[in-house]
Amino acid sequence: MNQEIQLIKRLKNPKLKNEAFKDLLDMYQERLYWHIRKIVITHDNANDVLQNTFIRIFNGINNFQEKSTLNTWMYRIAYNESIRFLEKNDKKKVVTIEQDDNLYLKNLTQDSFFNGDELQMKLNDIISKLSTKQQRVFQMKYFDDLSFNEISNILNISENTLKSAYYSAVKIIEEKILEEV
């Protein structure tokens, strides 16, 4: 935690901001990329959203009130940027839920950076059929290894609601995987 406090101080110091931001990128770029990637699916979209996320972080660091951890604050920005991106793209096209599920898997498998095996494909297929809330909560908890408290701060949803969504998603995933066996 002391390292995070020092980094925040450096980020808020105009003389040290650029150097500190490079350190921040080294520490968080990959984690935030994968968090975003799970939401927007493709590598190119994830890179665009990641760039916008870091621009917001750079421009907004002086407004960071330290009521949460830096990690949680940045994940919330990344999440909001991802949702903003999806909403912007949804306005451009309207697809049915079935088309959206198929589009999700098609985008994922056609992405040159995806090298998933059959089990990963099944898991991604099952996740794509969960409700949006269940998808987000499951991905943040399972893949990003965030605590329910952190997810609650990012999504602005109560921990009990998150736990319910997560355990419901886990149950659905387990049932669907067992059906395949």
CATH 3.40.50.11310 corresponds to the domain 1-94:
no
pLDDT tens digit sequence for 3-31: 899 999 999 999 999 999 999 999 999 99
DSSP class of residue 162?
H
Tokens of 129: 């059929």
60-86 mean pLDDT: 95
- Alpha helix segments (H runs only) across 41-158: 43-60, 70-92, 97-110, 118-128, 132-138, 148-155
> Is residue 7 within 8 Å of residue 23, measured between CB atoms?
yes
HSE-up of 25 (CA within 13 Å, CB side)?
Answer: 13
Q: How confident is the model at residue 154 (pLDDT cuts 50, 70, 90)?
A: very high
Tokens read off for 161: 């609601």
pTM listed for this prediction: 0.77
Domain boundaries, the chain: 1-94, 130-181
What does CATH list as the number for 130-181?
A: 1.10.10.10
